[in-house]
């Protein structure tokens, strides 16, 4: 019964597929009670068509219209202000970023130059310990003899000789030299 009721309201409200409609109309022809129910509901539904259409009071409609226009214009003005503020802000931010990045770029460039200078100066001033390479060559890298103070380099040279040791075996076939051969030295 519930199913039939649902179907009858769907039929009356034209919420059925054409094929469903045909099927239901066939059912109505067979079932007299269903026919009475549908026709009774249809009659009631038709009475609803007499429901009056009411007009809103004209002065109220006019007031609503003028208020709506005013409000909308205000909204548009506000949104335009916001848009222009935003675009100005974006432009300002872009300029600021440009200035900052340019400043950073140039100051970094200067810094690099300064660092280079410092490094260059550094090579002249800093002292690096002398070392002996695999060929037993003595190196003094990173030092230079300065006119005003010639002692450091001379001192290094003097001290470096004192570090050298005499080789006892004439063949030179010492464990350390063997080590050198083993490490595939060029000598």
Nearest to 3 by CA among 48, 30, 39, 37: 37
Per CB under 8 A, 118 contacts another protein: no
> What is d(CA 56, CA 49) in angstroms, rounded to the nearest whole number?
20
Q: What 3-state DSSP class applies to 128?
A: coil
- Of 75 and 114, nearer to another protein (C-beta) is 75
Per CB under 8 A, 88 contacts another protein: no
Closest approach of Cβ 101 to another protein, in Å?
37
Per CB under 8 A, 6 contacts another protein: yes
Closest approach of Cβ 79 to another protein, in Å?
8
- Of 18 and 172, nearer to another protein (C-beta) is 18
Cβ-in-10-Å burial (0-12, 13-18, 19+) of 8 comes to buried
Per CB under 8 A, 16 contacts another protein: no
Per CB under 8 A, 81 contacts another protein: no
- Of 67 and 129, nearer to another protein (C-beta) is 67
Closest approach of Cβ 40 to another protein, in Å?
6
End-to-end CA, the chain:
111
- Of 21-80, binders to another protein (CB under 8 A) are 40-41, 44-45, 47-57, 60-61, 63-65, 67-69, 71-73, 75-76, 79
Strand ranges for 65-181 from DSSP E: 131-132, 138-139
> What is d(CA 37, CA 29) in angstroms, rounded to the nearest whole number?
13
Q: What 3-state DSSP class applies to 134?
A: coil
Which two structure tokens, joined as six digits, stand for 101? Answer: 């990045």
Per CB under 8 A, 180 contacts another protein: no
* Site residues, another protein (CB under 8 A): 5-6, 8-10, 13, 15, 40-41, 44-45, 47-57, 60-61, 63-65, 67-69, 71-73, 75-76, 79
């Amino acid at each position: 019964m519930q199913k039939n009721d649902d179907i009858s309201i769907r039929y009356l409200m034209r919420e059925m597929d054409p094929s469903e409609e045909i099927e239901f109309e066939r059912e109505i022809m067979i079932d007299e009670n269903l026919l009475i129910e549908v026709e009774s509901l249809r009659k009631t539904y038709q009475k609803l068509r007499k429901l009056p259409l009411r007009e809103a009071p004209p002065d109220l409609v006019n007031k609503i219209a003028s208020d709506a226009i005013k409000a909308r214009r205000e909204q548009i003005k506000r949104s335009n202000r916001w848009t222009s503020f935003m675009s100005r802000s974006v432009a300002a931010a872009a300029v600021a970023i440009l200035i900052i990045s340019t400043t950073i770029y140039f100051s970094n460039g200067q810094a690099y130059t300064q660092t280079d200078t410092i490094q260059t100066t550094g090579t002249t001033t800093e002292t690096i310990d002398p070392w002996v390479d695999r060929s037993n060559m003595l190196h003094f890298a990173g030092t230079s003899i300065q006119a005003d103070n010639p002692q450091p380099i001379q001192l290094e040279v003097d001290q470096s000789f004192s570090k050298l040791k005499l080789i006892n075996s004439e063949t030179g076939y010492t464990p350390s030299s063997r080590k050198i051969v083993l490490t595939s030295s060029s000598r």
